């Protein structure tokens, strides 16, 4: 099954550059290094240390997966304090045989913590900043909730794993992606999007990774 997936992803990666829709921005001039990237399939199929899962397993379907018998830390769940972007950048860009998922966290690339400490008790989120108007009540007990059939509702947004839609789906297909669900993800309806965006990113970045002493996971010419 995994071979089928890898084959589909590899094929789509080669074709999808021409598949962008009408609202796609003008193509950026290929930077140095473009010709070096052959395929990002090795990135998608590499095992992420500590998870026993491939990158594809982690991002498709677009859900947060939790093994309750293992420690609660991203990508096994997602805690408020987890630096999810730096971790994700590592496992989609770097060779996990040479670098760990915490490579960028240890630098760090991005701010490593929230600007306010999280509470230690439920609901854990930090209190709002400033003095915004609040809307709660200690006395209200009856509220008017809309009781309408499901047929009256239309999807607006969906999310699971952080940043999958903004980072790896072209704007032209974001509405379609958000209207879909894990079933479509697992059927690889959006495989071309994932591989296209990831390959474009690798093409731009491969020289930067190497200059920084890091080994990209993409297959290079």
Partner 1 sequence: MRNFVFVSMLALAAAVAVPVAFLSGEKPAPAADHLDPPARTNPNNDSTPDFPADIADLYVTHDDQMVTMIVTFGGPAATSLPAMYDADLLFTISVSNQAPRTTTDIPIVFQFGRETGVADGPWGVRVRGVPGVEGDIVGSVERIIEKDGVRVFAGLTDDPFFFDSQGLTETRQTGTLSFRNNRDFFGAQNITAFAIQIPRDRLENGTNELDFWTFSDRRGGQI
Q: List binders of partner 1 among 54-93 (CB under 8 A).
A: 61-69, 72, 77-80, 83-85, 89, 93
Answer yes or no whether residue 200 interacts with partner 1 by CB under 8 A. Answer: yes
Peptide bond preceding 117: is omega within 30 degrees of 0, i.e. cis? Answer: no
**Contacting residues for 73 by C-beta, under 8 A, at least 6 apart:** 79, 82
Which of residues 14 and 82 has its CB atom nearest to partner 1 in the complex? 82
Q: Residue 3 or residue 25: which is nearer to partner 1 going by CB?
A: 25
Using CB under 8 A, pick the residue from 34, 174, 215, 219 that binds partner 1. Answer: 174
Q: Does the N-terminal peptide bond of residue 61 adopt cis geometry, omega within 30 degrees of 0?
A: yes
Of residues 3 and 138, the one with the C-beta less far from partner 1? 138
Does position 120 interact with partner 1 (CB under 8 A)? The reply is no
CA dist., res. 73 & res. 67, Å (int): 10
Q: Which is nearer to partner 1, 69 or 221 (CB)?
A: 69
Contact between 186 and partner 1 (CB under 8 A)? Answer: yes
Q: Which range, of 2-10, 11-19, 38-46, 157-165, touches partner 1 by CB under 8 A?
A: 157-165
Residue 22 makes contact with partner 1 by CB under 8 A: no
Using CB under 8 A as the binding rule, whether residue 158 contacts partner 1 is answered as: yes
Q: How far apart are CA 188 and CA 5, in angstroms?
A: 8
**Beta 53-54 vs 47-48: how paired, if at all?**
antiparallel
- Using CB under 8 A, pick the residue from 25, 41, 194, 217 that binds partner 1: 25
From residue 115, how far is each of 77, 85, 127, 134, 173 by CA, in Å?
22, 16, 12, 22, 33
In the set 49, 97, 98, 124, which binds partner 1 (CB under 8 A)? 124
Among 3, 18, 120, 183, which residue interacts with partner 1 (rule: CB under 8 A)? 183
Which residue among 21, 49, 52, 113 contacts partner 1 (CB under 8 A)? 113
Please tell me the distance from the alpha carbon of residue 4 to that of residue 8, in angstroms, as a whole number: 6
Nearest to 197 by CA among 53, 58, 74, 43: 43
Angle at which helix 191-211 crosses helix 84-93, to 10 degrees, equals: 90
Which residues ranging from 202 to 221 are in contact with partner 1 (CB under 8 A)?
A: 204-205, 208-209, 211-214
Token pair 């400033």 is found at 130
- Which of 108, 189, 215, 219 is the binder for partner 1 (CB under 8 A)? 108
Q: Determine if 1 is a binding residue for partner 1 (CB under 8 A).
A: no
With contacts defined by CB under 8 A, how many residues of the chain interact with partner 1? 96
Q: How far apart are CA 100 and CA 175, in angstroms?
A: 34
């Amino acid at each position: 099954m995994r071979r089928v997936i890898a084959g589909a992803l590899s094929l789509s990666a080669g074709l999808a550059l021409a598949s962008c829709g009408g609202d796609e921005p003008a193509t950026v001039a290929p930077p140095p290094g473009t010709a070096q990237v052959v395929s990002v399939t090795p990135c998608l199929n590499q095992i992420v240390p500590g998870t026993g899962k491939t990158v594809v397993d982690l991002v498709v379907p677009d859900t947060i997966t939790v093994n309750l018998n293992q420690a609660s830390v991203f990508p096994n769940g997602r805690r408020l304090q987890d630096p999810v972007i730096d971790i994700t950048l590592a496992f989609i860009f770097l060779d996990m045989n040479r670098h760990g998922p915490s490579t960028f966290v240890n630098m760090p690339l991005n701010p490593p913590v929230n600007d306010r400490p999280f509470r230690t008790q439920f609901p854990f989120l930090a209190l709002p900043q400033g003095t915004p108007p609040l809307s709660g009540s200690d006395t209200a007990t009856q509220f008017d909730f809309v009781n309408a059939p499901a047929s009256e509702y239309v999807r607006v947004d969906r999310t699971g794993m952080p940043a999958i839609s903004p980072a790896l789906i072209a704007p032209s297909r974001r509405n379609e992606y958000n209207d879909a669900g894990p079933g479509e993800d697992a059927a690889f309806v959006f495989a071309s999007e994932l591989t296209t965006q990831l390959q474009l990113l690798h093409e731009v970045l491969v020289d930067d990774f190497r200059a920084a002493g890091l080994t990209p996971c993409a297959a290079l010419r």
